[in-house]
């Protein structure tokens, strides 16, 4: 029961931090520091990635009408527009897919530490504040269908920044979208959709590595923890996505920038002074 409660807490943190531009990695590092799941190190690495599938499922269900090309009374033009949107999503995935696969082990070994995470939190928190204060970017792209392939590839290039732990995948792509002229809501929605192939791919990669290292062997308790974590992340993600979309219609992203800076300082203080 204690482990299930821990899995619920991890699912809550994942559901919140996956979509807000505040770095799920930074929060997971702090959470794992105080609350350890009673599982092997190999399984935990798999767990913290695979529970993201619950968060992704929330996007699929909430935006199914938007991202599914057929049905729902869609005309041929609507279907073409949806397929075109997927083309832009896949184009945006190319940079991170190539670099991420090639450098996955190296990044985990050399950059997955508290210093890098804290600095990334602070630096990109400052970037959000500057971006919004200076009103950088024209914000002229006000609909998903108006995103160009050039803009999509540019957002994909910004997503490379998220390979650095603490940057935040949603944070880097939203920053890129704003800089390239996307309206806040459009940048956020494109980030949601971009997460679908990215997170599914990342989960499959982690699962493959787990199978190669450990084998396709799972305890019933481990499968239960995965299921609970995914379910909680799914439910919380629905609430957070609705909150974020309502929030950015009236507010900018500065508050998330300040939060990132505060969290980054807390991480530095804890790991270098308190611990």
* Mean pLDDT of the 99-119 span: 79
Residue 125: per-residue pLDDT: 94
pLDDT computed for residue 194 by the predictor: 92
pLDDT at 80: 92
pTM: 0.87
Give the pLDDT band (50/70/90) at residue 261.
very high
Dump pLDDT digits (tens) for 173-215. 999 999 999 998 999 999 999 989 888 887 887 788 778 787 7
Q: Which residue has the higher pLDDT, 48 or 234?
A: 234
Q: CB neighbours of 261 closer than 8 A, spacing ≥ 6? A: 121, 122, 125, 126
- Quick one: which of 265, 200, 218, 238 has its CA closest to 11? 238
Average predicted confidence (pLDDT) for the chain: 88
Whether pLDDT at 52 is above 90: no
Higher pLDDT, 107 or 260: 260
Span 132-158, pLDDT tens digits:
888 776 678 889 989 999 999 999 999
């Amino acid at each position: 029961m204690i482990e299930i409660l821990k899995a619920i807490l991890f699912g809550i943190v994942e559901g919140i931090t996956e979509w807000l531009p505040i770095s799920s990695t930074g929060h997971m590092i702090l959470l794992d520091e105080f609350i350890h799941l009673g599982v092997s190190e190999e399984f935990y690495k798999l767990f913290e990635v695979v529970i993201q599938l619950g968060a992704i499922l929330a996007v699929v269900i909430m935006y199914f009408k938007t991202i599914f090309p057929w049905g729902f009374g869609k005309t041929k033009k609507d279907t073409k527009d949806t397929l075109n949107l997927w083309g832009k999503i896949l184009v945006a995935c190319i940079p991170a897919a190539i670099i991420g696969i090639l450098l996955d082990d190296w990044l985990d070994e050399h950059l997955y530490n508290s210093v890098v995470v804290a600095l990334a939190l602070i630096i990109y928190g400052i970037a959000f504040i500057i971006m919004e204060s200076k009103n950088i970017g024209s914000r002229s792209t006000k609909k998903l269908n108006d995103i160009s392939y050039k803009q999509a590839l540019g957002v994909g290039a910004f997503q490379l920044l998220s390979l650095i732990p603490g940057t935040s995948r949603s944070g880097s792509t939203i920053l890129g979208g704003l800089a390239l002229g996307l309206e806040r809501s459009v940048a956020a929605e494109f980030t949601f959709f971009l997460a679908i192939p990215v997170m599914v791919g990342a989960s499959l990669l982690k699962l493959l590595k787990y199978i190669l290292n450990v084998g396709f062997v799972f305890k019933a308790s481990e499968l239960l923890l995965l299921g609970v974590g995914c379910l909680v992340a799914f439910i919380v993600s629905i609430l957070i996505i609705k909150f974020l979309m309502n929030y950015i219609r009236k507010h900018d992203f500065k508050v998330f920038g300040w939060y990132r800076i505060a969290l980054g300082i807390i991480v530095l203080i804890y790991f270098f002074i308190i611990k």
